[in-house]
Amino acid sequence: MNGFELIQDMFGYSFVQNGLIGGVAAAITCAALGVFIVLKRSSLIGEGIAHMSFGGIAIGLFAGLYPLYTALIFSLLGTMAISYLHDHKLVYSETAIGILISFGLATGAVVAKMAGGFNVDLFSYLFGDILTISRQDVYLVGALAIVVMAVVIFFYKEFMQLTFDEQGSKLAGVPVGALNLLFNVMVALAVVVSIKIVGSLLVSSLIILPAATALQISRSFKSTVLYSLVISVISVVTGLFASFFYDTATGGAIVLTSIALFVLALISKKITSREESVPAPSCDK
C-alpha cells in the first residue's frame, strides 16, 4: 500500500473526519485571536482560562455531565472574574490570572481525587486526543468557532484599535471595558473549542505559537493574521497525521510542530536580515 492509499484509508474513518473538522475549526479560531493576544502582550489570559476550564472538565466527568459544557461555564466565569478584578482595580491582571489558574487546577485535582484519580477520559482532556472527537464535539466546536469568527470579523477594527492604542480608544469614546470583556469571552470560547484538540494544559500554545511565528515573517497586520491561520492549520493537520500513523499524543505533536515552525521562522528571519545587511558589491575596479 503506497502513501496515497494510506492517506485515503485514513480518511475513511469517521473519527479521523471528526478530528480533522474539529481540528481545523480550532486552528482557525485560535489563530484569529492569537495575533491580537500576542500583540497586546496578554498571552497569559489564554493560560488562565484554559486552566480554569480544567476544573469544569473534572466536575463534568465526576457529575456525569458533558465535560465541554461544564468547561464552557467555568471558562466564562473565569473570564468575568478576571475582568471584574482588573476593572475594579482589586488586583493586577497577572495576579487575577494566577489566582484563577490556582483555583482551576486545585478544583480539578480535588474532584479528580474524589472520583478515584485520573482516568483515561480526564487525561485526554488534559493533553488532548483529536482522534476521540465525537460528532457531538464537532457540532459544539463548529458552533463556537462560527460565533468567535463572526465576532472577530464584525469587531475587527475595534479589536485592532484596542491592540495598538487602548488609551487613545478610551479617549475617543470607544467602550474599551465592554470590548475587552467581549474579546476575553471569545478567548474563553476558543479555549473550549481547542480542549479536545490539544488539551486544557496545552491550549494556550495553539493560541500563542502560530501568531508568534507569523510575526517573524510578516510585514503587515493582515498578513500576520493570514500567516497565523495557515501555520495553525498546518500544525493541527500534522498532529492529526502523527496521532494516526505513530500513535503519539495529539496535543504534544501539534505543539511540537508549532515550535518547529517557530524555530524555522526565526532562522529564516535571521538569514534574511543578514543578507539585507550585507553591502552591495562595489563596481570600482
**Percentage of residues in the chain having pLDDT higher than 90:** 27
Chain-centre distance for alpha carbon 88: 27
C-alpha–C-alpha distance, residues 213 and 65, integer Å: 37
Provide mean pLDDT across the span 47-75. Answer: 88
Residue 278 falls inside a structural domain: no
Residue 283 falls inside a structural domain: no
Residue 284 falls inside a structural domain: no
Contact residues for 30 (Cβ-Cβ < 8 A; gap 6+): 190, 193, 194, 203, 206, 207, 210, 232
Would you state the pLDDT for residue 29? 92
DSSP state of 202: T
Nearest to 136 by CA among 246, 251, 14: 14
Provide mean pLDDT across the span 16-32. Answer: 88
pLDDT at residue 259 tops 90:
yes
How does residue 285 score in pLDDT terms, banded at 50, 70 and 90?
very low
pLDDT at residue 191 tops 60:
yes
89: left (phi over 0), alpha (psi -120 to 50) or beta: left
Residue type, 168: G
Residue 163 falls inside a structural domain: yes
Lowest mean pLDDT among 76-80, 141-145, 200-204: 200-204
Residue 280 falls inside a structural domain: no
DSSP state of 219: S
Provide mean pLDDT across the span 231-252. Answer: 86
Would you state the pLDDT for residue 34? 92
Tell me how many domains the chain contains: 1
Higher pLDDT, 169 or 59: 59
Residue 199 falls inside a structural domain: yes
Provide mean pLDDT across the span 16-31. Answer: 88
Chain-centre distance for alpha carbon 51: 13
Would you state the pLDDT for residue 252? 86
- Prediction pTM value: 0.86
pLDDT digits (tens, 9 = 90+) for 151-167: 999 999 889 888 888 88
Provide mean pLDDT across the span 75-81. Answer: 89
The enclosing domain of 68 has a CATH number of: 1.10.3470.10
Would you state the pLDDT for residue 87? 76
Task: Give residue 253's domain range.
Answer: 3-269
DSSP per-residue codes, 10-75: HTTSHHHHHHHHHHHHHHHHHHHHHHHHHHTT-THHHHHHHHHHHHHHHHHHHHTS-HHHHHHHHH
Provide mean pLDDT across the span 3-11. Answer: 65
Cβ–Cβ under 8 Å, residues 254 and 128: yes
> In whole angstroms, how far apart are CA 3 and each of 6, 9, 131, 245, 276?
5, 10, 20, 11, 41
Lowest mean pLDDT among 7-11, 103-107, 217-221, 259-263: 7-11
pLDDT at residue 63 tops 50:
yes
Cβ–Cβ under 8 Å, residues 105 and 54: yes
pLDDT digits (tens, 9 = 90+) for 110-157: 888 887 665 657 777 887 777 778 888 889 889 999 999 999 999 998
Residue 103 falls inside a structural domain: yes
Structure-block grid coordinates of residue 261: 515552525
Provide mean pLDDT across the span 198-213. Answer: 88
Structure-block grid coordinates of residue 103: 483555583
> In whole angstroms, how far apart are CA 266 and each of 116, 194, 259?
45, 26, 11
Residue 196 falls inside a structural domain: yes
